[in-house]
Chains A and B, each alone.
Chain A
């Protein structure tokens, strides 16, 4: 075998080994790479009250109640819903139907006490007129990929049924 070919195979094999190793590590750490859990994830796992976690979902329509500087609202992934209580400044994008990620801990009462609320947005960008026109024509497609499982779709989507 020529040395060049030898080096080529060596590098290909090395690359394969490194890639496999990284893939295994990433798979093993899946739980810590996931930035947030959905309300459904939460019902399947035992999370101790007081344990800091992040919850992601859509702000349920009509659930936002402002009381002074405390806000309570519900997030949903269309399957499960969780009540969140938060005190502080909300991001500009926070609104009903918007995807958000809240960081905090579950209280014994089952309410999620958030210390931070972050707004998530999707990858659809358009001028306001186009958004209005789409809504008026009933052609609003919240997600590019409707076949996605409900959980991610719910999180990545700004649903309009809520508006």
Chain B
């Protein structure tokens, strides 16, 4: 684990992983999209709108996952001063925000025909919107200070405080009456017909590997930014 604490080593490992992740992502999309859009069956109640699930649910999971990385990275940055951890956290924010936004928008596109409304202020939808704003706040805080170390610290604290929202999102549908249905995963197993599990998991795989591809680019950007800053300091500009 300590080898990865060195940014250059981390990037070297990343360079080896990245092509594989990209390849896997493209394979998952090439196989998953036709199944999701055409070869999987419609739902007995919701017809073809169930196909929105193959975007909506992976996007929701990824938005939670990215925030989890952000919170864990922030914690290890605050406690152990690991620069790579902070870079991972920073690099996870924009893509996580995109997944959260995608989850919200596809949810509206699904809610309008099925529920009869694109939006309600129930616990699940509201806590998801809060997650989206946490991402935006985290990104804004990082750039809000003259000294980048202050921005890093402030952002990391926000990310940690905001992580209480993760269990709230997850359990909102169980704790309170909500319009949103409970999770397809429960103690009893997965409440999805087997013909629908494959496209869902392929899309999850596609989104997960896409995350790896872009987050490695993001960490590289962070490393480069630090180097640019150091070079400028050396020149005294």
Contacts and interface: CB of A to CB of B under 8 A. Distances in A.
A139 B230 CA distance: 68
A92 interface: yes
Question: Chain B CB within 10 Å — which of A93, A94, A132, A155 has the most?
Answer: A93
B159 to A, nearest CB: 11
A4 B80 contact: yes
Contacts of B38: none
Q: Is the interface of A mostly helix, strand, loop or mixed?
A: mixed
A101 B50 CA distance: 21
A134 B163 CA distance: 41
A39 B121 CA distance: 21
Contacts of B4: none
A79 interface: no
A7 B74 CA distance: 13
Interface in B49-90: 50, 53, 75, 78-80
Interface string A128-163: 111110000000000011000000100110100000
Contact of A8 (B79, B183, B193, B195): B79
A118 B120 contact: yes
Interface stretch (B27-35, B134-142, B184-192, B221-229): B184-192
Interface stretch (B18-26, B39-47, B212-220): B39-47
Nearest to B124: A35
A119 B191 contact: no
Given A93-B114, A125-B193, A19 B164 contact: yes
A124 B191 contact: yes
A101 B78 CA distance: 45
A100 B200 CA distance: 27
Question: Chain B CB within 10 Å — which of A22, A116, A123, A131 has the most?
Answer: A123
B207 to A, nearest CB: 19
Interface stretch (A26-34, A44-52, A67-75): A26-34
A127 B176 contact: no
Nearest to B167: A19
Interface of B: 41-46, 50, 53, 75, 78-80, 113-117, 120-123, 160-161, 163-164, 168, 176-179, 181-184, 186-189, 191-193, 195-196
Given A121-B181, A126-B192, 11 more contacts: A4-B79, A11-B78, A30-B176, A33-B176, A37-B177, A118-B116, A119-B115, A126-B193, A127-B43, A131-B44, A156-B182
